[in-house]
Amino acid sequence: MAPKPYIFLIIALLFIFLPLTASIHFKLPAIFNFGDSNSDTGELVAAGVYSLEPPYGQSYFTKPSGRYCDGRLIIDFLLEAMDLPFLNAYLDSIGRTSFRKGCNFAAAGSTIEPPTARAVSPFSFRVQVAQFIRFKLQVLRLIAKGKKLHKYLPDEDYFQNGLYMFDIGQNDLAGAFYSKTFDQILALIPLILTEFETGIKTLYDQGARNFWVHNTGPLGCLAQNVAKFGTDPSSLDELGCVSKHNQAAKVFNLQLHTLCKKLQGQYAGSNFTYVDIYTIKWNLIANYSKFGFEQPIMVCCGYGGPPLNYDSRIGCGKTEVLNGTTMTAKACSDSSEYVNWDGIHYSEAANQYVSSQILTGKYSDPPFSDKMPFLLGLKF
């Protein structure tokens, strides 16, 4: 197979940015993450709520890892860049699990708002924050008893000096479209963000000072939403994405950005970084071939064939009887050619691209270069 164009682009970028990359030293003792399937490293599966079968995990872990992806997530790539180990899920404590460098409370299907009766996940943002409080309390109790568990648990000062990451809100918006009008969804956004603000305040009161907040991506470009809400061509934009979903995401992101700025001024000693995931993902979908991808919206692991290869009745890796015939949703031959993995989640290759763009610092407010001393220590 001939090398893909993006391989040469990456090599060129490495040479261009090598001096800067080499001068960066990450000084984060631990990461505490909150979110949904975009950053779930095994929480929902460990809870017994859902199971993942092959081909999930095939591209990196060679087996399902609890991640809703063929391999690594954005958070995995970011942690690698920070020279930190992958985060273990809070509920995944069987075996030689270590929480020394942090803990992941994110669970697939989670929302900021309290879950409804039809929710996939019971672990809303409020519940995840409550889990963190319990985790911290238990850690402090255990380390006070001696050093026996020191290598498995974070030091007390890690809770103040660590980085608190958030990638949540996508499911609040996406789920609302099934029962609410567009205007009702827009009216709901301030309420969602009030709940988010409450959780942030609780964490701040617990000693958190360094906050890293991802906005939500272009929901209308996910095959699941295109299949359900994009049957009328007039509802789609120039990229084939559902316009209303993306408009709602933009309004949510604008208000989230405003909230981050407000909290930065409100909480003494805090550092808030807002990361524009939407723009990164939109640029990827709009210019997919430039970055070595062949399919921006069509699903790698799905059923039904072009144009979406997505059928809500049969999830990736599942076998179901459709119209009297047994069918299996299988993976494509090369997931690195696809932006979308299973209709809802991005492929490892797409996640790697997104994380590489995050690490440039230019999609963050404030940018890395001069406003993020808690994350980057530049060596001169």
- Residues with catalytic roles: 37, 342, 345
Residue 53 CA neighbour count, 13 Å, CB half? 10
Please report which helix (H) or strand (E) contains residue 280, including its range: helix 277-286
What type of residue is 280?
Answer: I
Instruction: Give the whole-angstrom CA distance, residue 82 versus residue 25.
Output: 8
Quick one: three-class SS letters along 123-186?
CCHHHHHHHHHHHHHHHHHHHHCCCCCHHHCCCCCHHHHCEEEEECCHHHHHHHCCCCCHHHHH
- Determine if residue 366 is left, alpha or beta; phi over 0 gives left, psi from -120 to 50 gives alpha, anything else beta: beta
Instruction: Give the whole-angstrom CA distance, residue 375 versus residue 380.
Output: 16
Closest CA to 74 of 119, 49, 106, 51: 106
Structural contact between residues 293 and 352, judged by C-beta atoms closer than 8 angstroms = no
